[in-house]
């Protein structure tokens, strides 16, 4: 686990938002995130490194009393194709389950086919849109029972 405010995490999050901006325009993701959203008992934030720098991240935060929401799932381009995202997703699911959450929900966009394929292959199913981007044409929402 990592601190969401750690400088190395913030540097990786710049990559996350830059890629989202490339795909969708704008600033990437304007979803409000609180300072303690990824701090226990509200959630957790995980990172992966390659021995030199951070190359992946994912976090979850509580959404209601029994749901966890996946946020900031990302693998750097240089680290893709090695199963890192699948391992990060499994760590998020386990952490949320251990914290008493029954379901993991997420929003992704229609210009992220790799993410959509990962979520569907990991057992996520489409649900009614929720959250900050509810009602946006390019948003897809998914959930999985934990």
- Contact 40/46 with Cβ under 8 angstroms? no
Tens digit of each residue's pLDDT (9 = 90 or more) over 24-57: 877 666 788 887 999 999 999 999 999 999 999 9
- Contact 70/43 with Cβ under 8 angstroms? no
Tens digit of each residue's pLDDT (9 = 90 or more) over 90-142: 999 999 999 999 999 999 989 999 999 999 999 999 999 998 889 888 899 99
pLDDT at 27: 65
Tens digit of each residue's pLDDT (9 = 90 or more) over 9-22: 888 888 888 888 88
The two tokens of residue 64 are: 């209601």
Specify the pTM: 0.91
Beta bridge partners of 60: 44, 70
CATH topology of domain 7-145: Aminopeptidase (3.40.630)
Higher pLDDT, 144 or 2: 144
CA angle 12, 57, 64 (to 5 degrees): 120
């Amino acid at each position: 686990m990592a601190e969401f405010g750690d400088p190395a995490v913030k540097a990786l999050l710049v990559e996350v938002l830059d890629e989202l901006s490339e795909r969708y325009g704008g600033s990437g993701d304007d979803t409000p995130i609180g300072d303690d959203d990824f701090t226990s008992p509200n959630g957790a934030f995980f990172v992966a490194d390659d021995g030199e720098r951070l190359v992946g991240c994912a976090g979850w935060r509580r959404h209601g009393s029994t749901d966890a929401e996946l946020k900031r799932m990302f693998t750097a381009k240089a680290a893709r194709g090695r199963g890192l995202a699948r391992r990060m997703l499994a760590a998020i699911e386990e952490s949320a389950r251990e914290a008493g959450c029954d379901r993991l929900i997420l929003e992704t966009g229609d210009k992220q086919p790799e993410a959509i394929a990962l979520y569907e292959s990991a057992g996520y199913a489409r649900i009614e849109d929720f959250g900050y981007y509810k009602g946006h044409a390019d948003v897809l929402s998914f959930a999985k029972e934990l």
